[in-house]
């Protein structure tokens, strides 16, 4: 099988897939839709990060594609519904870089609270500005976390260890960790917190989530951070609040339109404003996190292609499978309608094929049944299962 890995994915992913028998092609940058359609010819597995977009058109043009790995947390760059309809499981790394993001958030809060970016710039320009005015400790400050998922909850724990008072808001009912206080609404959180940090997901419903109204509601001279998604914040509104002094400082790691490759030109309305930290979407980009992500996602791609396992797929029914030595495995993804398993079993029974083991999982409109048998599978049996109207993909492993 062949794998295409884009956007400078860590070399451990290459090693992991090569050891599983893959032929690997790597490319440093992202590809646009037309380039990706062409590059995927003959490719079984695709690995991307956050910049390459996998659209329905890309998937439809490459029906041989078995799986997509997002070597990052977010998957909004992939048409998950289209991938599910074409029986292409998508895997990501929901946990691997949480610590890296948390550490960057805390580092930037300290930078902003101490106004160290301005001190640094002054010294580089030959100005000695030794004074405490506008410089604060973070101990005892009220931190407001918007989004209490894997990153937000871990940030909550570490920030509390540094002496911050933690408040959070999440649309879902989440268990507060440590002494964190849950707020019943975003407005309540904005009224309390002295520092707001966003950690929401990439759902389209979050587009424009934080704008002029929310900035106006924040306490005067608060700090603002966004290390989630660029399209959730109105950066023009943030610029106005920074220039007016209502917001004392900001740190931004994500942008609505990000360059495709390192070295490309970048522009933002936040450039050139004092006490603003801009970073090029590197929240999870530590060597430790990228190695862990490379190993984790490549392992998921390996396990799916060689065993049929879909554990932690973001769009496919979940089955955790072990290796069955000496047997044959039929991995059948299908429309979730009544009677599919009965039809599969009837086809096998009509051909005197005994079932050693069988598992079924469903997720929304789709199902996944894996059948282990000890005998060889005749070609006409495989074709009969592929000809079922519910079949989306059948693999013989």
Tokens 């300290």 identify what position? 110
Encoded tokens for 1: 């099988």
Answer for the pair 311, 303: CB distance below 8 angstroms, yes or no.
Answer: yes
CA–CA dist 397, 390 (Å, integer): 20
The residues with which 370 forms a beta bridge, in sequence order, are 331, 359
- Contacts of residue 193, defined as CB under 8 A and 6 or more positions apart, other chains included, come to 142, 143, 144, 167, 218, 219, 222
Q: From the candidates 281, 302, 334, 392, give the one annotated as an active-site residue.
A: 281
Residue 258 is among the residues annotated as catalytic for this protein: yes
- Contacts of residue 103, defined as CB under 8 A and 6 or more positions apart, other chains included, come to 158, 286
CA–CA dist 326, 214 (Å, integer): 61
User: Minimal CA–CA distance to 366: which of 314, 316, 304?
Assistant: 316
Torsion from C-alpha of 261, 267, 270, 275, nearest 10 degrees = 60
CA–CA dist 174, 199 (Å, integer): 14
Encoded tokens for 204: 């389209």
Encoded tokens for 51: 């910049």
Q: From the candidates 188, 258, 291, 390, give the one annotated as an active-site residue.
A: 258
Count of C-beta atoms within a 10 Å radius of residue 391: 18
Q: From the candidates 10, 141, 199, 229, give the one annotated as an active-site residue.
A: 229
User: Minimal CA–CA distance to 202: which of 276, 126, 149?
Assistant: 149
Catalytic residues, by residue number, are 229, 258, 281
């Amino acid at each position: 099988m062949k794998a295409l890995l884009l956007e400078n994915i860590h070399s451990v992913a290459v090693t992991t897939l090569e050891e599983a028998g893959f032929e690997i092609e790597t490319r440093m940058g992202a590809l646009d839709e037309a380039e990706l359609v062409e590059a995927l010819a003959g490719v079984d597995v695709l690995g991307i990060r956050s910049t390459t977009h996998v659209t329905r058109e890309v998937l439809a043009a490459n029906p041989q594609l078995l799986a997509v790995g997002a070597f990052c947390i977010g998957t909004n760059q992939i048409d998950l519904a289209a991938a599910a309809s074409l029986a292409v499981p998508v895997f990501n790394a929901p946990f691997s870089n949480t610590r890296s993001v948390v550490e960057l958030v805390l580092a930037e809060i300290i930078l902003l609270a101490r106004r160290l970016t301005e001190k640094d710039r002054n010294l580089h320009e030959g100005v000695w500005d030794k004074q405490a005015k506008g410089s604060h400790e973070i101990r005892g400050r009220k931190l407001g976390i918007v989004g209490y998922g894997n990153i937000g909850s871990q940030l909550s724990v570490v920030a509390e260890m540094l002496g911050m008072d933690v408040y959070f808001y999440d649309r879902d009912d989440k268990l507060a960790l440590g002494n964190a206080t849950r707020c019943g609404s975003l407005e309540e959180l904005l009224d309390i917190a002295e520092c707001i940090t966003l950690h929401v997901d990439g759902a389209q419903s979050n587009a424009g989530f934080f704008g002029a109204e929310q900035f106006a509601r924040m306490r005067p001279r608060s700090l603002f951070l966004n290390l989630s998604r660029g399209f959730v914040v109105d950066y023009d509104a943030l610029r106005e609040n920074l220039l007016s002094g209502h917001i004392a400082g900001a740190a931004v790691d994500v942008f609505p339109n990000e360059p495709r490759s390192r070295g490309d030109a970048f522009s933002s309305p936040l450039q050139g404003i004092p006490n603003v930290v801009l970073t090029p979407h590197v929240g999870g980009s530590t060597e430790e996190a990228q190695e862990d992500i490379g190993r984790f996602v490549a392992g998921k791609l390996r396990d799916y292609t060689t065993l049929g396992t879909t554990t932690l797929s973001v769009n496919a029914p979940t089955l955790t499978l072990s290796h069955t030595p000496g047997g044959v495995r039929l991995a059948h993804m299908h429309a979730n309608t009544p009677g599919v398993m009965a039809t599969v079993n009837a086809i096998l029974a009509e051909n005197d094929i005994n079932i050693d083991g069988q598992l079924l999982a469903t997720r929304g409109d789709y199902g996944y049944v894996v059948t282990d048998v000890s005998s060889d599978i005749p070609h006409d049996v495989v074709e009969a299962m592929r000809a079922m109207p519910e079949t989306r993909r059948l693999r013989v492993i």
